[in-house]
């Protein structure tokens, strides 16, 4: 178990275990926001530095000490962190940038920042004036929600300067300065103190008896994992969901779009199992849904990696609308019982939160071996709901990706198909898929794309 030493008494607490995967595996979060308009590059650059230079977490680098020790060290210089690119094909340029992210040396023992902002502007004559603002973060430093919070602060600063507001930028800098990093272990310990031991141990018993299913055999056996994997393959797809969302909410008005998205993916995997993998009908689909360990109000106080989650199993042969309702009910029940907190307490980093025997932990984590996929929702709801999110620019699309350079034992941690989803304006859905088996990845992605397009088209005739 690696130990990450304390970087500063007021900024970064000792973190042991929870981040060892990110030390061994260079993982990068890539959030790309597409707009139409003319951004003020100088103001955007000023906003970027005003925020990141005041976040203590981003002014430390992780340095390798020896085989069993890493430590945070303060740094006073980084290479370029704000980039401006011009291209006749900004979508192609974004794909190239995403492909290069894992080799941009945002890694330990380098002189690169843990967060980069890149603006990709169009130089074509189409008259669309579209551009991307792409945020690339080292997952060692930030999870998806921490990255989103910082991006929104940058946009708030930009908008304030653009509108001539001289007071708001000072408030934003204060918000950036107050962000601290404590270990997820500490957060979890405090959270579990608020949960009845009866409920917590009830969750563990439920996990131990939980039936999860991977009928399509997507979980890769360790002996079948590629040993020469430099970058874990990924692929991007975009879907229209408007008709699916409408049909689900006509049937069940309370449904969230997250439940609807998850049901759509479940149905797509179920269909792929039957048509492409020749599996029997009437089977279940299990997946793991990542959740936020931090309560929303705590995102304004802490900046780091605070990810949790829980498994969900549903009948794949039911109608998509009914599956969405089933998923919604499971999520509601698990969030109420704090199932994701209990699962986090089983992790290797949660030593002081875990009072179970090794066998109990093994039984309660057995579900990990039977999952069709793992999914995380990175929707930036402020971007999604505000057509003028960036001042004087029209909001178009939010797409994302997770890039990973597995190294050594981290190979054993990426034997699942990982999906990162985000909802954009007008119920567009962007999905980034990462899987160690490249040929299988593209086949699965094409199958999901075909199913979703058909499901959305069929429902258009219902209205």
Q: Is residue 383 part of a domain?
A: no
Same domain, 180 and 199: no
Query: What pTM was estimated for this model as a whole?
Result: 0.90
**Final residue before a domain boundary, out of 130, 149, 184:** 184
Provide the number of structural domains found in the chain: 2
What span, in angstroms and rounded, lies between the C-alpha atoms of 367 and 52? Answer: 39
Answer yes or no: do 259 and 351 share one domain: yes
Residues 318, 257 share a domain: yes
138 assigned to some structural domain: yes
- CA 413, chain centre distance (Å): 16
Q: What is the largest CA-CA distance in the chain?
A: 65
Beta strand extents in 37-81 (DSSP E only): 60-66, 69-74
Same domain, yes or no, for 178 and 277?
no
In a domain, 446, yes or no: yes
Is 260 a domain residue?
Answer: yes
239 and 271 co-located in one domain: yes
Q: Are residues 211 and 166 in the same domain?
A: no
Residues 129 and 206 in one domain: no
Which residues form the domain of 39?
A: 3-184
Q: Residue 13: left (phi > 0), alpha (psi -120 to 50), or beta? A: beta
264 within domain boundaries? yes
209 and 154 both lie in a single domain: no
Sign of CA dihedral 348, 401, 425, 328: negative
CATH code for the domain in which residue 312 is found: 3.30.559.30
Q: How far apart are CA 287 and CA 150, in angstroms?
A: 29
Q: Are residues 129 and 203 in the same domain?
A: no
Read off the CATH number of the domain in which 109 is found.
Answer: 3.30.559.10
Q: Domain ends where: 122, 156, 184?
A: 184
Q: How many CB atoms lie within 10 A of CB 362?
A: 12
Q: Is 402 helix (H, G, I), strand (E, B) or coil?
A: strand
Q: What is the full DSSP assignment across 336-374? A: HHTHHHHHHTTSTT-GGG--S-HHHHHHHTGGGGS-SEE
In this structure, the answer to whether residues 202 and 161 fall within a common structural domain is no
What is the C-alpha to C-alpha distance for residues 175 and 182, in angstroms, rounded to an integer?
17
Q: Which of 128, 161, 184 is the last residue of a domain?
A: 184
Q: Token pair for residue 180? A: 């601290």
The continuous run of DSSP H or E covering 156 comes out as helix 144-162
Residues 142 and 285 in one domain: no
Would you give per-residue pLDDT tens digits along the chain (463 residues)?
333 333 343 444 434 334 444 444 578 899 999 999 999 999 999 999 999 999 988 887 766 666 556 666 776 666 678 999 999 999 999 988 887 765 554 444 455 678 899 999 998 766 679 999 999 998 888 999 999 999 999 999 999 999 999 999 999 999 999 999 888 888 888 888 899 989 998 999 999 999 999 999 999 987 888 877 777 889 999 999 999 999 999 999 999 999 999 999 999 999 999 999 999 999 999 999 999 998 888 999 999 889 999 999 999 999 999 999 999 999 999 999 999 999 988 876 555 555 677 887 888 888 988 999 999 999 999 999 998 999 999 999 999 988 887 665 455 567 899 999 999 888 889 999 999 898 999 999 999 999 999 999 999 878 6
Establish if 168 belongs to a structural domain. Answer: yes
Residue 279 lies in a domain: yes
Q: How many CA atoms lie within 13 A of 264 on its CB side?
A: 32
Pair 419, 230: CB distance under 8 Å: no
- Same domain for 71 and 209, yes or no, is no
Does 44 map to a domain?
yes
């Amino acid at each position: 178990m690696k130990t990450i030493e304390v970087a500063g008494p007021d900024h970064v607490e000792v973190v042991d275990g929870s981040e060892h995967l990110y030390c061994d595996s260079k993982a990068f979060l890539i959030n790309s926001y597409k707009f139409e308009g003319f951004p003020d590059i100088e103001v955007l650059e000023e906003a970027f530095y005003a925020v990141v230079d005041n976040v203590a977490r981003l002014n430390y680098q992780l340095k390798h000490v020896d085989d069993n020790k890493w430590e945070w060290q303060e740094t006073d210089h980084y290479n370029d962190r704000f980039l401006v690119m011009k291209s006749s094909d900004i979508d192609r340029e974004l794909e190239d940038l995403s492909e290069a992210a894992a080799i941009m040396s945002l890694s330990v023992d380098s002189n690169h920042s843990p967060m980069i902002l890149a603006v990709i502007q169009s130089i074509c004559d189409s008259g669309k004036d579209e551009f991307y603002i792409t945020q690339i973060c080292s997952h060692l430093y930030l999870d998806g929600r921490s990255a989103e919070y910082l991006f929104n602060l940058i946009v708030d600063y930009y908008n304030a300067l653009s509108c001539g507001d001289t007071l708001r930028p000072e408030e934003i800098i204060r918000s950036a300065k107050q962000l601290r990093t404590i270990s997820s272990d500490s957060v979890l310990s405090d959270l579990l103190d608020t949960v009845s031991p009866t409920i917590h141990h009830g969750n563990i018993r439920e996990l131990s008896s939980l039936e999860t299913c991977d009928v399509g055999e997507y979980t890769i056996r360790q002996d079948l994992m590629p040993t020469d994997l430099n970058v874990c393959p990924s692929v991007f797809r975009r879907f229209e969901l408007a008709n699916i969302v409408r049909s689900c909410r006509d049937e069940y008005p309370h449904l969230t779009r997250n439940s609807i998205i998850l049901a759509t993916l479940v149905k797509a995997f179920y269909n792929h199992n039957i048509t492409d993998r020749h599996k029997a009908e009437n089977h279940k689909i299990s997946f793991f849904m990542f959740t936020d360990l931090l309560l929303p109000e705590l995102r304004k106080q802490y900046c780091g990696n605070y990810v949790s989650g829980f498994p969900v199993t549903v009948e794949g042969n039911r109608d998509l609308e009914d599956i969405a309702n089933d998923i919604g009910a499971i999520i509601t029940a698990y969030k109420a019982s704090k199932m994701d907190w209990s699962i986090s307490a089983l992790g290797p980093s949660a030593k002081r939160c875990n009072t179970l025997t090794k066998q109990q932990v093994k039984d309660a984590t057995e579900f990990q071996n039977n999952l069709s996929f793992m999914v995380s929702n990175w929707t930036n709801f402020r971007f999604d709901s505000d057509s003028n999110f960036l001042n004087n620019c029209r909001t178009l699309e939010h797409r994302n990706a997770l890039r990973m350079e597995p190294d050594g034992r981290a190979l054993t941690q990426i034997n699942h198909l990982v999906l990162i989803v985000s909802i954009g304006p007008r119920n567009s859905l962007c999905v980034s898929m990462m899987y160690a088996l490249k040929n299988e990845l593209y086949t699965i992605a094409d199958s999901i794309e075909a199913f979703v397009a058909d499901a959305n088209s069929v429902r258009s005739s219902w209205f």
